[in-house]
Amino acid sequence: MHSTASIAVVAALAGMSVAKPVEIQGKSTFRVDQVAVPKKANLNAAQHVLKAQAKYGNLNNVDPAIKQAAAQQGSVQANNEPNDREYLCPVSIGGQTLNLDFDTGSDDLWVFSTLTPSSQSQGHTKYNPSRAQRLNGETWSIKYQDQSGSSGIVYSDKVVVGGVTATNQAVEVATQVSQQFQEDTDNDGLLGLSLGSNTCQPQRCTSFFDNVKSSLSQALFATRLRRGQPGVYDFGYIDNSLYTGSISYVNTDSSYPNYWTFQAGDLSVNGNGIGSGGLAIADTGTTLMLVPNDILNAYYGQIQSAQNSGGMWIFDCNDQIPDLQVNIGGGTFTVPGSYINWVNNGDGTCSGGLQYNQGLPFSIYGDIFLKNQYVVFDQTQGYPRLGFAQGA
């Protein structure tokens, strides 16, 4: 029987499989509604760049000036978009509820645990795996922008998100946690939704979505993230009320099969082309939109006060920031200039939400881009594809 479940999110915004297949009881759809909570630890713009570079294994190529800027302590106040909110989702693991970050740029499901040192887990809800089954020999490890990492061992337990249950889900239990996650006490871990890039060793763990997709009405999920207000994740269905026009579909690129990659077409400002987008990744776990230098030079060349300062693009907060248009699959999708006018540096300048990808072979289209779109992460065709529509 087709069923629909809805849950509220308390929150801030993938060889052989180890865990057994999920037990399926009928087809379903469900929605995860986001709710903002105060964010206790704000990253500066340089730290957001470093966070993305660490995620994709590119720390060695990062401009030293950015590393220096990222090392500076202290919070920043946002100009247009509140920078004191984050979005997490309540997930039940072994009957214990933790608030996790949904991330399409990774595939690990990892959590703070009772095995995490108390000095690293204060203020977090901790998963107790004492009644779960240990997956002997399985470990995991992730590196982050501060050169530290999160790592641990793997258990199998029941994981419930919305109306869908994975009864034998691999859960990566932290025995060591990065400083950036220690400070973010609202966030108890991560639920990855990419295509196979989790760090379980020696065998890859089956991801949550891979476990539950056969129980859904359709093997897809969709996001409608928003600026300054809650968004949603829909699993198993497409909500036609959340977008305007039609959905433009593009296949993922086989050169990076573990990620939600796509080919972006021409980029333009005020109808004037500024370059071709090339290969990109749709990543809900990255805040900024990170692109090659030629795109940055052309875009920020439209803003009189824009300058590259210490490897980061900044401009006068009072300047008019133009919209950016991106062609994908024949459709045109807008990043409003107000989104790119991202964070106030406290000295009359603002840091842009559009920054350098530090030489990565792809761009990263994070929340700056995604928050104005409706995006479908689709596995219904026998191959993964992405669908983009203008958000309603």
pLDDT of residue 376: 98
Give the pLDDT band of residue 34 (cuts 50, 70, 90): low
pLDDT of residue 246: 97
Whether the pLDDT of residue 355 is over 70: the answer is yes
**3-state DSSP assignment of residue 197:** coil
pLDDT of residue 229: 76
Helix (H) or strand (E) holding 376: strand 373-378
Peptide bond preceding 21 in cis form (omega within 30 of 0): no
Helix (H) or strand (E) holding 47: helix 45-55
Beta bridge partners, 282, equal: 365
pTM: 0.84
- Distances in Å between the Cα of 94 and the Cα atoms of 101, 151, 167, 179, 385 are 18, 20, 9, 26, 32
> Between 72 and 361, where is the model more confident?
361
- Distances in Å between the Cα of 160 and the Cα atoms of 22, 74, 95 are 11, 36, 8
**For residue 375, which of 48, 102, 164 has the smallest C-alpha distance?**
102
C-alpha to C-alpha distance for 151 and 143, rounded to whole angstroms: 9
CB 194 within 8 A of CB 104: yes
pLDDT of residue 70: 72
The mean-pLDDT minimum among 65-74, 138-147, 195-204, 318-327 falls in: 65-74
CB 99 within 8 A of CB 185: no
pLDDT of residue 196: 82
Q: What is the pLDDT of residues 164-214, one digit of tens each?
A: 899 999 999 999 998 778 877 888 999 999 998 799 999 999 999 999 999
**Catalytic annotation, residues:** 103, 283
pLDDT of residue 35: 53
pLDDT of residue 76: 31
Give the pLDDT band of residue 72 (cuts 50, 70, 90): low
**For residue 29, which of 207, 239, 211, 174 has the smallest C-alpha distance?**
239
Q: What is the pLDDT of residues 136-163, one digit of tens each?
A: 999 999 876 445 678 999 999 999 998 7
**For residue 342, which of 85, 79, 52 has the smallest C-alpha distance?**
79
What's the whole-number mean pLDDT along residues 277-281? 97
pLDDT of residue 370: 95
pLDDT of residue 324: 99
Whether the pLDDT of residue 21 is over 50: the answer is no
Q: What is the pLDDT of residues 51-61, one digit of tens each?
A: 888 788 777 88
Percent of the chain residues topping a pLDDT of 70: 85
The mean-pLDDT minimum among 30-44, 122-136, 229-243 falls in: 30-44
**Count of CB atoms situated within 10 Å of the CB of 304:** 10
Helix (H) or strand (E) holding 182: helix 179-183
- CA diameter of the chain: 61
> Between 9 and 379, where is the model more confident?
379
pLDDT of residue 42: 58
Q: What is the pLDDT of residues 115-127, one digit of tens each?
A: 999 999 999 999 9
pLDDT of residue 271: 94
The mean-pLDDT minimum among 9-18, 184-193, 280-289, 311-320 falls in: 9-18
Give the pLDDT band of residue 238 (cuts 50, 70, 90): very high
> Between 66 and 267, where is the model more confident?
267
